[in-house]
Amino acid sequence: MAISREEIEKVALLARIRLEDNQVGALEKDVGNILNLVDQLQSADTSSVEPLAHPLDATQRLRADEVTEHDQRDAFQRIAPATEDGLYLVPRVIE
Amino acid sequence: MHDKTVAELARDLEQGTVSSVELTRHFLDRIRQDDTRYNSFITVTEDEALKDAKAADDRRARGEATPWTGIPFAHKDIFCTDGVRTTCGSRMLENFVPPYDATVTARFRDAGAVCLGKTNMDEFAMGSSTESSYYGATVNPWGDNLVPGGSSGGSAAAVAARLVPAATGTDTGGSIRQPAAMCGITGLKPTYGRVSRYGMIAFASSLDQGGTMARTAEDNALMLNVMAGFDPKDSTCIDRPVPDYTANLNEPLKGLKVGLPKEYFTDQLDDRMAGQVRAAIAEYEKLGATVQEISLPNTHLAIAAYYIIAPAEASANLSRFDGVRYGYRCEAPKDLMDLYTRTRAEGFGEEVKRRILVGTYALSAGYYDAYYLKAQKVRRLIQQDFIEAFKSVDIIMGPAAPTPAFGIGSKTDDPVKMYLEDIYTIAINLAGVPAMSVPAGQIDGLPVGLQLIGNYFDEARLLNAAHQFQQATDWHTLTPAG
Amino acid sequence: MQWEVVIGLEIHVQLATQTKIFSGTSTAYGAAPNTQASAVDLAMPGTLPVANEQAFRYATMFGLAIDAEINRRSVFERKNYFYPDLPKGYQTTQLAQPIVGPGHVDIRLENGAEKRVRIHHAHLEEDAGKSLHEDYHGMTGIDLNRAGTPLIEIVTEPDMRSAEEAVAFARKLHGLVTSLGICDGDMSQGSMRFDVNVSIRPQGTDQLGTRTETKNLNSFRFMEAAIHHEVERQIDILEDGGEIVQETRLYNGDRDESRSMRTKEEANDYRYFPCPDLLPVEIDDAFIDSLRSAMPELPDAKEARFKADYGLSDYDAGLLSNNAATADYFEATAKTGGDAKLAANWILGELSARLNAAELNIKQSPVSAERLGTLVQRIADNTLSSSGAKKVFEALWNGDEADVDAIIDREGLKQVSDTGELEKLVDSVLADMGDQIEQYRAEDDPKKRKKLMGGFMGPLMKASKGQGNPKLLNDILQKKLEG
């Protein structure tokens, strides 16, 4: 299955990855080849098969509602690109 | 000293014939001298290692040593290490120093092991050659122009070159077994859920599993003894007793039922590779195993299912790398969209971006049922194949990789060619069963791996079978010329 | 044209757990920015979620309270989108398999009729952080303390037909979740937030009109105003021959304005898929039964009991039972005070008025239930007159720390209720009012007699220095005059 230039651009926007114009062509080809590879899936008869999300079919263990974490803001913000007054800074968000 | 196994070094330490500081200095020297050639390390932590070695010697003096106290080793740079840069092979995390340990890291720390550094890997573990690392490709010690396999190629190369006796790895579709095969060492991917994933940077959450890489099966068992076990911080980690994986290594293999999937031994398999694998299986027959042909009828669907599921999960797992709280951030973003799209375009390499796009596409409206849901159904078919097969055999055997190590640059221009490297390993991750690669021959002087696949939580049996093979053969003792 | 209004609600209810839904980080309100944001909450690389059992208990309790199906198996999914207050780049939520299936809430309308509002489902999810738009050199600040706070999102069917119905439903829901103790109900802190879906259609037609969604309304008053505003906006558009655009809108309650939140970005494609870091949650009958047997009394049952046990009116019982804190306050006051109706009057009258004016909730009342109860007791046993009671209440409200009885003594507010003493007082006052007595006795018209009687009460109260029990004085006076 082929993927169009527009689809590549749409998916890149969803994934928040900027593409330069000269990258789109190569991606069209590579992603198209990958989609061809995965198209083998369509040959499988899965009409009565339940999807498998986890190999062990286990169920979720639930945690007691107890505080186990303590403030480590300084440690976390030391490795942050931009902070002020304990806040992470990003370019102005317009709502 | 560097030719000794972990088990041997542990005995030396115990007997006091060598100290951890001496061992650590020795291996650090080797890394300093030789790793300019292999580039198997992204970060070497000399100061920390010597401090830890000193502490290990003190601990031993106090009589509180564990089998790992004072043993030098390395971590794949996907495991977060408190206070030590953890890059995951990516520019995105070039300056990322986590203030926390992965559970695996903490367990080795608690055991008193001495981490010498962080090994090279394909970026975010996406690759089969360690060429996609932002920190440059790793070179296979068996040949200057050869890849070590991947994604745990740094760990495999470092162990093969005797820069460390053991290293951790992770395996999402073959990332321990394929490089182990190509570098002539022994590697184990445990059952999904056997080893905690907490602090191990996620590629594909339902497939990723941390594991062991060393020269011998016995050393793999020693590593797994440290790594395996329940972790309340990982919901997918299984609460189940951990055996002593060294306990059964010497059990005879008489009566072991080995299955050979006919789907692995087709015209597709290179003749010489088939010959090496069959010779190894003949060795098992000599050891008392019985061999039968079995079928894993959905094998041909594994690559397709994997290359939907893994990119889909990765596309969401890698959304957190957004330039806001840690990691790379582009220069002077003009608005929020620019911050996101440029940070991610500049921070991620080509293969990572490709997989994010494929995964995003597979999950997007209109394609979910045809791709993701379909792949999850096929995944169950593949799992059923293994469940069915293990009703009649104890271990499934086959090749770990289609060929020995290939040339650097020979597959980088075609992602699909690279994906086919994992053709014998991927189904195992989809099913979640454990598997190993054991050195089992050579082609043109390059190592070849035999893959042993076990039933769920049957790691002890795999290690026993690998150990017995290594008692009878010396493939695992061969050393690259360098 | 006559328009019919169709309203459906989505309500985000913050659960009153100690910790976040997927990490052991405190959810206490008001901490300094990002001090309650752990490695998991910050989506640090390699960190993993582990689900909080209490969140499942609370969601299940809610399901039981609205008579809903509780799904034995529920699955968390990832809802993918980028936003700075969403650290993982996806929200962990439930979609195809939520914990709470279809249920219903019955509300009472102003005309006294009951109406059933169907609940489509309720699911568990994590809250996002907060963006602070104050100026940080032209940047926005992100506080992730709230990120990962457990929410249930409750989705109704479009069953409401007016802003008043929607508010009645919202108040009922508020009463439910606070009575269950699963939410603190503090709307000013965002503990309950409403998204309102509004459409209109010609009266008598069945087809639903195009709807808009007004997001994040956090008071009943704003919700009501936002609905009125949106209905008028839609009517104006349709009556001008325009079309309603399906969109999300933001309402500014202070200016009674709304605007579209549409941006030039692509249409959302959330790419939901089951979260591979979390396993399906299975709950069994024992889990549900243990919660069912421990359910607190809910507002409807409480209302019935207040009417039966305390003899309250429908209206008073309804108001007092809908809020757990108010109901508890009332019962504590009634217990100390001994007179439930009087307690209800004081709570719904003086106390409510003062709390509203001061923008306090009943838990923040400066007058404790016990002290108000003692006040009620002193009114009931005739120690205080109503004017005396108001003076005591004023002192209590202002933080007077003395006992109620001590205040009464100190201020000289104690009524004289000794009949012998009061008779002497009446006799002495009447001794100087011969003319008036004659006039009173000569009057035949009962109305006029009553008025004349009032002429004696003033001097009597004055003579008692305001401390005579008015009712007793009146009785004695009447007896003497008739005598």
Q: What is the pLDDT of residues C79-120, one digit of tens each?
A: 999 999 999 999 999 999 999 999 999 998 888 889 999 999
In single-letter form, the type of residue at position B435 comes to A
CA distance B115 to B70: 9
Positive or negative, the CA dihedral B135, B140, B144, B145 is negative
- A77 domain residue, yes or no: no
What b-and-e string marks burial along B65-102, b requiring 16 or more CB atoms within 10 Å of the CB?
Answer: bbbbbbbbbbbbbbbbbbebbbbbbbbbbeebbbbbbb
Using the Cβ of C32 and the Cβ atoms of chain A, whether some distance falls under 8 Å is answered with yes
CB-based contact A77:A83 (threshold 8 Å): yes
Cα distances (Å, whole numbers) of residue B353 to A12, B90, B328, B358: 9, 12, 15, 9
Q: Please say which residue of C359, C380, C410 terminates a domain.
A: C410
The closest CB to that of C281, out of A59, A73, A94, belongs to A59
pLDDT at B482: 64
This model of the complex carries an ipTM of: 0.97
* Active-site choice (B175, B196, B315, B437): B175
- C198-212 tens-digit pLDDT: 999 999 999 999 999
Is pLDDT at A95 greater than 70 in this prediction? no
Cβ of residue C54 closer than 8 Å to a chain A Cβ: yes
Q: Do both C105 and C249 map to the same domain? A: yes
Sequence-ordered strand ranges (E) for B106-261: 114-119, 166-170, 186-189, 210-214, 257-261
User: CA–CA distance from B76 to each of B154, B176, B226, B387, C456 (Å)?
Assistant: 7, 10, 16, 31, 100
Nearest to A66 among C18, C142, C279 (CB): C18
Beta bridge partners of C196: C9, C214
Do B363 and C271 lie within an 8 Å CB cutoff? yes
Choose between C451 and B325: higher pLDDT: B325
Residue B354 contacts A, CB cutoff 8 Å: yes
Residue A73: inside a domain: no
> For C84-88, C114-118, C137-141, C167-171, which range has the lowest pLDDT when averaged over its residues?
C137-141
- Give the burial string for B231-266 (b: 16+ CB within 10 Å, else e): bbbbbbbbeeeeeebbeebeeebeebebbbbebbee
Chain C hits for A65, Cβ within 8 Å: 17-19, 52-55
Residues C88 and C52 in one domain: yes
**Does residue A48 fall inside a structural domain?**
no
Across B277-301, b (16+ Cβ under 10 Å) vs e yields beebbebbeebebebeebebebbbb
**Same domain (yes/no): C214, C133:** yes
Say yes or no for a CB contact (<8 Å) between A89 and C139: yes
pLDDT value, residue C117? 98
Q: What is the pLDDT of residue C123?
A: 98
Q: C337 near C377, Cβ under 8 Å?
A: yes
| Identity of the residue in B206, B336, B344 whose CB atom sits nearest the CB atom of A91 | B336
B20 is catalytic: no
Closest C-alpha among B366, B432, B41, B381 to residue B204: B432
Residues 293-322 of B with CB under 8 A from A: 298, 300-301, 303-305, 307-308, 315, 319, 322
What pTM value is reported for the model? 0.92
Cβ <8 Å between C266 and A77: no
Strand partners, C262: none
Confirm whether A17 is domain-assigned. yes
Whichever domain contains C466, its CATH number is: 1.10.10
Mean pLDDT of C145-172: 97
Which of B102, B202, B322 lies nearest to residue C89, judging by beta carbons?
Answer: B322
Whether the Cβ atoms of residue B327 and residue B318 lie closer than 8 Å to each other: no
Q: Which amino acid is at A13?
A: L
Q: What's the CATH code of the domain at B337?
A: 3.90.1300.10
Residue A14 is assigned to a structural domain of this protein: yes
CA distance C417 to B38: 104
Total number of domains in chain C: 3
C399: closest CA of chain B, how far (Å)? 47
Sheet with A87-91, edge to edge strand ranges = A83-84, A87-91, C139-143, C130-136
- Structurally, how many domains does chain A consist of? 1
One domain for residues C10 and C32: yes
- Strand-pairing partners, residue B317, are none
What is the Cα–Cα distance from C477 to C187, expressed in whole angstroms?
Answer: 54
Average pLDDT, chain C: 92
For the segment C252-267, the average pLDDT, to the nearest whole number, is 76
Do C220 and C280 belong together in one domain?
Answer: yes
In B263-337, beta strands by DSSP E: 290-294
Q: Is B257 a catalytic residue?
A: no
- Tokens at residue B50, please? 């010597």
Backbone angles phi, psi at B89, to 5 degrees: 75, 15
**DSSP H helical ranges for C132-284:** 163-180, 220-239
Cβ contacts (< 8 Å) between B232 and chain C: which residues? 50
Write down the pLDDT at residue C138: 84
DSSP class of C92: E
d(CA B156, CA B174): 13
pLDDT tens digits for C60-83?
999 999 999 999 999 999 999 999
Q: Among the three residues C363, C392, C410, which one is the final residue of a domain in this structure? A: C410
- Selected for mutation to probe chain A from C20, C71, C134, C279 (highest A CB count within 10 Å) is C279
Cα(C473)–Cα(C481) distance, integer angstroms? 12
DSSP reduced 3-state for C103: strand
Helix pair C470-482, C419-430: axis angle to 10 deg: 50
Whether C389 and C468 map to the same domain: the answer is no
Q: How far apart are CA B465 and CA B184, in angstroms?
A: 17
More confident call, C472 vs B127: B127
Contacts of C214 by beta carbon, 8 Å cutoff, 6+ apart? C195, C196, C198, C226, C227, C230, C248, C249, C250, C251, C258
Distance CA B161, CA B164 (A): 8
Q: Please check whether residues C61 and C189 belong to one and the same domain.
A: yes
Range scoring the smallest mean pLDDT among A61-70, B98-107, C225-234, C382-391: C382-391
Which residues in chain A are closer than 8 Å to B204, comparing Cβ atoms? none
B315 is known as an active-site residue: no
**Structural domain count of chain B:** 1
Q: Are B359 and B313 in contact (CB under 8 A)?
A: yes
- Which residues of A fall within a CB distance of 8 Å from B327? 81
- C80, B340: Cβ pair inside 8 Å? no
Of the candidates B96, B378, B433, which has its C-beta nearest A41's C-beta?
A: B378
Residue B277 in tokens: 């694998």
Low-confidence ranges of chain B (pLDDT < 70): 482
Task: Indicate the pLDDT class of residue C264, thresholds 50, 70 and 90.
Answer: very low
- Per the DSSP assignment, residues forming a β-bridge with B226 are none
Kindly state the tokens that stand for C431. Answer: 């001794």
Structural domain span for residue A17? 5-42
Q: How does pLDDT run across B392-415, given as a tens digit for each residue?
A: 999 999 999 999 999 999 999 999
* Residue A90 domain flag: no
pLDDT at A5: 94
Domain span at residue C337?
A: 297-410
Q: What is the DSSP letter of B81?
A: B
Burial of B64 (0-12, 13-18, 19+ CB in 10 A): exposed
Q: Which residue of C has its CA nearest to A76?
A: C39
Are the CB atoms for B107 and C64 separated by under 8 Å? no
Q: Over the stretch C297-348, which tens digit does the pLDDT of each residue have?
A: 999 999 999 999 999 998 899 999 988 889 999 999 999 999 999 999 999 9
